[in-house]
Amino acid sequence: MTAGRLDTWLQRLAVAAAYLGGAVVTGLALMSVVSIVGRSVLARPILGDFELVEIGIAVAGSLFLPYCQASRGHIIVDVFTLRAGARTVRALDRLGALLTAAMFLLVAWRTLAGGLDIARSGETSMLMQVPIWIGYAGMIPGVALAALIALAQAVGGPSGDLRDDR
Amino acid sequence: MSALLSAGVVLGAMLVLIAARVPIGVAMFMAGAAGYGAVVGAAALLSYLKGLLWARFSVYDLSVIPLFLLMGQFATEAGFSRTLFHAANALIGHRQGGVAMASVTACMAFGSICGSSVATAATMSQVALPEMRRLRYSDRLATATLAVGGTLGILIPPSVILIIYALLAEQSIVKLFAAAVVPGLIATLFYLVTIAIYVRVVPGQAVAQPRASAAERLAALRAAWPIAAIFLCIFVGIYGGWFTATEGAAVGAVATLALGAARRQLPWRRVARCFLPAAQTTAMILTVLLGATMMNAALAVSRVPAGLAAWIAALDVPPLLVIGGFIAGFILLGCVLDELAMMLLLLPILLPTILALDLPGLSVEEKAIWFGILMLMATGVGLVAPPIGLNVYVVANIARTVPIGEIYRGAAPFLAADLVRLTLLVLAPQLTLWALRFVR
């Protein structure tokens, strides 16, 4: 498989992850609306819906990371490098991508370790008794994919960019 | 001393990385992790990192960010800016400079369902700029009005910057939103007054147009009222304590989507397109929050922010001068640095000092909320001040033929109005804090 095809696959995965995260957020929004109607109209609250929001937002947020990485959506400061040549800027951006990959890899690895600890201790959420390790496990794929994309940007082909199609 | 030294090295390393185009969140994270490890040891760092992502991401209030971003995207894609502009224009467009005033008013209304200044400036420019050009408004006034009006997107709640401030300073999002209402209305009013003075002092900037008929006004208002209803529903709901901020954002996003779909302005293809920008911005914010949390932890073990707070308290400078100095420094730095980045960098260092200031009659919470609003205002100034006012670039990009310098010149009177407003809000904290009594 060539580097170009790998890039394409990573980008497709990033977009798919973003839509999956979007679906989770949509689910949270609908659940909130149902919860409001339930408690105000039917006097029947969803007990512990906020726990699902916490798990959902953690998972959705991590699923957004790969797309942000692939489309280079992170904030950078460019005033100090406005006069630098294109080659310098490219080299710096590779360095930035490498550091980003290192950060996400470190975080993914430690979250895995933390999740295993939690799974062993059997900790659950207070009201709904959802095992907390599920939240940890749900965050790891997004972070790991973001790390992979950053790595591809650091060592691979020139772009690794997704175009915003607007 | 060694802790102080390590904090200095950490901050220095972070600034070098940031200057070298490393994403800000990553620079904060890497420098912070190294500093934390240096002070408390690598094993403690690795153990701390086990729970960091979960602690930072599984926060209930965080969910308002993608929801409000989605609501703003839906409103943009559905063309609500056009509806709001036509309504405002029908009401006040006939005055001298009236279309510019209508643009500012429509920006305020759009800002009440959108939390981003760039999005507000962009969507409003596409609607209002052609209209002002058709009526031969000067490019200078037209573009500056839209660049400045766009800042109302963040000054009027919901505001993404305020949500991030709330998360970092551990304050209530609902209370910060409530506190932002009066300052946001003052901002709108001052911009309107600025336009009124501007078109009278500088001739040939704006040409009056005929008054809209009563039937036209009624039709324009009828088209706009559901948007106002969405806004009212969200904010009465969250200020009155019926919804949480997240639930308000969820209701707002669903209602905006439903209204757009009902008006056949939001086909499915466009709805799908709303998700990617919202995902991108959410992830950008989460990354900087992650980095800022790591940096906070490193600074906390070095005890530098607490030391700075004690040092400034011991200096015996009048508290208002300290606040004014911080805000002035914030505005100056904002000329070269990204505002969000600056807030993330400076907040952990400055907030302990602010909270320790001796301001009679203000509780710790009130100080934090008040300072958050002041910081938000300073951010708004940075968005239109040279050399890099983001909103100015956005409008210039849409206007195409107007030089950047021309927009900055047009924005100067508005910036003067901003400074008057900031001074007013520093001298009278009650203007900001007054609305808190309505929050349950």
Confidence of residue B357 (pLDDT cuts 50, 70, 90): confident
CB contacts, 8 Å: A64 with chain B? 66, 279-280, 282-283, 286
CB contact under 8 A, A139 and B17: no
CA distance A4 to chain B (A): 23
Mean pLDDT, residues A57-81 taken together: 92
* pLDDT higher than 80, residue A74: yes
Q: What is the pLDDT of residues B364-417, one digit of tens each?
A: 999 999 999 999 999 899 899 887 788 999 999 999 899 999 999 999 999 999
CA distance B42 to chain A (A): 13
CA distance B7 to chain A (A): 20
Mean pLDDT, residues A58-86 taken together: 91
Mean pLDDT across chain A = 88
* pLDDT higher than 60, residue A162: no
Kindly report the number of other CB atoms within 10 A of residue B118's CB atom: 18
Q: What is the pLDDT of residues B182-193, one digit of tens each?
A: 999 999 999 999
For residues B62 and A133, what is the distance between their CA atoms, to the nearest angstrom? 20
Mean pLDDT, residues A94-109 taken together: 97
Taking the Cβ of residue B243 and every Cβ of chain A, the question of whether any pair is shorter than 8 Å is answered with: yes
Mean pLDDT, residues A60-66 taken together: 98
Residue of A nearest to B77 (CA): A166
What is the share, in percent, of chain B residues with pLDDT greater than 70? Answer: 100
CB contact under 8 A, A68 and B283: yes
> End-to-end CA distance of chain A, in Å?
30
Confidence of residue B243 (pLDDT cuts 50, 70, 90): confident
Mean pLDDT, residues A6-13 taken together: 88
Which of B330-339, B359-368, B374-383 has the lowest average pLDDT? Answer: B330-339
- Which residues partner with A124 through β-bridges? A131
How much is the pTM? 0.90
DSSP string across A73-109: -S----GGGTTS-HHHHHHHHHHHHHHHHHHHHHHHH
Burial B171-200 (b: 16+ CB within 10 A, else e): bbbbbbbbbbbbbbebbbebbbebbbebbe
Q: What is the pLDDT of residue A164?
A: 38
* pLDDT higher than 80, residue B208: no
User: Between B151 and B357, whose confidence is greater?
Assistant: B151
CB contact under 8 A, B284 and A62: no
Q: What is the pLDDT of residue A43?
A: 75
The residue type found at B433 is L
Look at residues B295, B421, B286 and name the one whose alpha carbon lies nearest to residue A65.
Answer: B286
Q: What is the pLDDT of residue B60?
A: 92
Q: What is the pLDDT of residues B92-148, one digit of tens each?
A: 999 889 999 999 999 999 999 998 898 999 999 999 999 999 988 999 999 999 999
DSSP string across B284-317: HHHHHHHHHHHHHHHHHHHTHHHHHHHHHHHHT-
Which of B25-34, B142-151, B350-359, B372-381 has the lowest average pLDDT? Answer: B350-359
| Three-state DSSP class for residue B344 | helix
Are B433 and B370 in contact, with CB atoms under 8 Å apart?
yes
Q: What is the pLDDT of residue A141?
A: 97
Taking the Cβ of residue B63 and every Cβ of chain A, the question of whether any pair is shorter than 8 Å is answered with: yes
Confidence of residue B302 (pLDDT cuts 50, 70, 90): confident
Q: CA B381, B128, B158, A57 torsion: positive or negative?
A: negative
* pLDDT higher than 70, residue A157: no
The residue type found at B235 is F
Q: What is the pLDDT of residues A33-53, one digit of tens each?
A: 888 888 888 877 777 888 999
Mean pLDDT, residues A62-67 taken together: 98
Q: Which of A24-33, A139-148, B356-365 has maximum average pLDDT?
A: A139-148
Are B66 and A23 in contact, with CB atoms under 8 Å apart?
no
Which of A63-72, B353-362, B404-413 has the lowest average pLDDT? Answer: B353-362
Mean pLDDT across chain B = 91
| Three-state DSSP class for residue B325 | helix
